[in-house]
């Protein structure tokens, strides 16, 4: 029986497809871009290689036992579960096909593709060792939850080993902590390691005095906290030195190994500092996705691997691709959370304007960053704040730091538990997150061994296939020659 004509027309009419937005990265830029699109007539897919949104400015407090991982790294899937137009995907992006508007990724052994109409790349940055990537094994950075947990176990493990060893030289090595990089992360980490040794662990050991630990903060630069200016940098330095932290500036690290580091001074002399625990916070490099985009477009990258974007945060010739946060380079903007947040929101607003209001990329206003200031803690009750020409240090700056960081934490529960943890820390330097395990300490080396074993197994399998194919080919030739003789 023939269907009515109207039904035929209805059945043949294609269902309109909504604009597809793919966001790479669940940090500040990616998450705020996704949330900005909540009421937009688009389908959002946020893909990241971790299943959480990391509040990186507080990562050092996980490493030193003040906060738990859950307080600063809530699951992205739960954050966006009420946003009906958003889908969260766990996967590691290994290729962006600019011409085909497709993102290739893997989740374990599963490979998959995501098609996009608009792409927001906010994959962030990794620790930079300035071409000396082998330093990472002995001096982990401070960029991921894994880094923080590993460092926590390394720091506490040094005290535990010092308690049972009899060799005095080895004990001194175990109780020497070196933080490389005198930027905000390095300053915050040095202050917390010093407080941990002098207050939290006081009277907890019988054979050693934790307060005798040597904490060294060094940098190749001539100042502490260079972006904050001389006044605040000197204030931070004075506070750290009062806590017993050794400040060594104009000191360039030339080598790092199991036993310690080598440092080159301005006069060219090289000296060695023996230390068991080394922490690296000296530089960052953008995700390799930046170079991948540059190779397919007219965009360029700087020395840190950041993409030089247009004034609307897009790539030259590709207005559908936005790069935000630590991956972008524009007008010397700093790699701070506010740049990523404002950039993610800006990119989302341009997508909304073009999808729902019919505007074209030519109508986009240039991205304007509103500088809300920079902050860094030095110790309990002491911080530095720079807001334009306003500079504040000490207790008032510390209170401002508390308020701002609480405001940007994701989730009401996380804010409450963080306030409680901070209260315990302020009241008597109690730290409830001092658990450590051997697995956290040795996970990096174990992963390296597993990766090496897998690579060796793949090479062996490939060689076996090659040998088998060569044998089959020889057999075929021998059989053909025999037939020819016959």
Catalytic residues: 188
What is the C-alpha separation between 379 and 36, in angstroms, rounded? 35
What is the Cα–Cα distance from 114 to 120, expressed in whole angstroms? 13
Q: What are phi and psi of 382, to 5 degrees?
A: -140, 130
Is residue 335 a contact partner of residue 284, using CB atoms and an 8 Å limit?
yes
Residue 202 φ/ψ, nearest 5 degrees:
-60, 135
Distance CA 431, CA 196 (A): 9
Residue owning tokens 């990537």: 133
Residue 211 φ/ψ, nearest 5 degrees: -65, -15
Longest dimension (CA), the chain: 100
Establish how many alpha carbons lie within 13 A of residue 338's alpha carbon, considering only the half-sphere containing its beta carbon. Answer: 13
Distance of alpha carbon 446 from the chain centroid:
21
Q: Find how far residue 48's CA is from the centre of its chain.
A: 12
Nearest by Cα to 177 from 319, 274, 320: 274
Nearest of 105, 107, 104, 45 to residue 76 by alpha carbon: 45
- Residue whose C-alpha is closest to residue 83's, from 39, 27, 18: 39
For residues 162 and 205, give the distance between their C-alpha atoms in angstroms, rounded to a whole number. Answer: 10
CA nearest neighbour of 348 among 33, 42, 45:
33
- Kind of pairing between the strands at 314-315 and 374-379: unpaired
Sheet containing strand 102-107, strands side by side: 92-97, 102-107, 110-115
Reduce the DSSP state of residue 301 to 3 states and report it: strand
The DSSP secondary-structure symbol of 84 reads T
């Amino acid at each position: 029986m023939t269907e009515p004509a109207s039904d035929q027309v209805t059945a043949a009419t294609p269902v309109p497809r909504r604009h597809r937005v793919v966001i790479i990265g669940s940090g500040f830029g990616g998450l705020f871009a996704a949330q900005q699109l909540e009421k937009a007539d688009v389908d959002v897919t946020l893909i990241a290689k971790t299943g959480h949104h990391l509040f990186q400015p507080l990562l050092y407090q996980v490493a030193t036992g003040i906060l738990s991982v859950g307080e600063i790294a809530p699951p992205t899937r739960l954050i966006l579960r009420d946003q009906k137009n958003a889908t969260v995907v766990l996967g590691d992006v290994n290729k962006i096909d600019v011409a085909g508007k497709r993102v290739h990724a893997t989740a374990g052994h599963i490979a998959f593709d995501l098609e996009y109409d608009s792409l927001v790349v906010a994959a962030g940055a990794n620790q930079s060792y300035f071409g000396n990537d082998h330093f990472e094994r002995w001096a982990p950075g401070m960029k991921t939850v894994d880094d923080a947990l590993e460092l926590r176990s390394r720091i506490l493990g040094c005290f535990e080993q010092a308690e049972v060893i009899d060799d005095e030289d080895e004990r001194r090595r175990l109780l020497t902590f070196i933080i490389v990089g005198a930027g905000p992360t390095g300053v915050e980490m040095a202050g917390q390691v010093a407080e941990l040794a002098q207050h939290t662990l006081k009277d907890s050991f019988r054979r050693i005095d934790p307060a005798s630990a040597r904490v060294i903060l060094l940098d190749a630069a001539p100042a502490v906290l260079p972006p904050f200016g001389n006044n605040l940098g000197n204030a931070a330095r004075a506070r750290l030195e009062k806590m017993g932290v050794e400040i060594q500036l104009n000191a360039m690290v030339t080598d790092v190994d199991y036993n310690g580091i080598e440092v080159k001074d301005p006069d060219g002399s090289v000296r060695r500092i023996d230390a068991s625990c080394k922490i690296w916070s000296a530089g960052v490099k953008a995700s390799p996705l930046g170079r991948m985009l540059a190779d397919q477009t007219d965009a360029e990258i700087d020395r840190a691997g950041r993409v030089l974007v247009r004034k609307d945060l897009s790539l030259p010739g590709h207005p559908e691709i936005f790069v935000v946060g630590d991956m972008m380079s524009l007008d010397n903007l700093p790699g701070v959370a506010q740049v990523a947040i404002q950039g993610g929101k800006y990119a989302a607003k341009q997508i909304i304007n073009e999808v729902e209001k019919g505007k074209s990329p030519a109508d986009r206003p240039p991205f304007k960053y509103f500088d809300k200031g920079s902050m860094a803690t030095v110790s309990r009750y002491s911080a530095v704040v720079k807001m334009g020409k306003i500079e504040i240090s000490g207790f008032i700056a510390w209170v401002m730091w508390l308020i701002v960081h609480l405001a940007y934490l994701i989730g009401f529960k996380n804010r409450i538990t963080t306030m409680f943890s901070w209260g315990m820390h302020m009241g008597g330097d109690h730290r409830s997150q001092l658990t450590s395990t051997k697995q956290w300490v040795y996970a990096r080396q174990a992963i390296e061994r597993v990766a090496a074993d897998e690579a060796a197994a793949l090479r062996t399998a490939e060689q076996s296939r090659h040998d088998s194919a060569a044998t089959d080919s020889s057999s075929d030739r021998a059989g053909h020659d025999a037939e020819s003789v016959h």
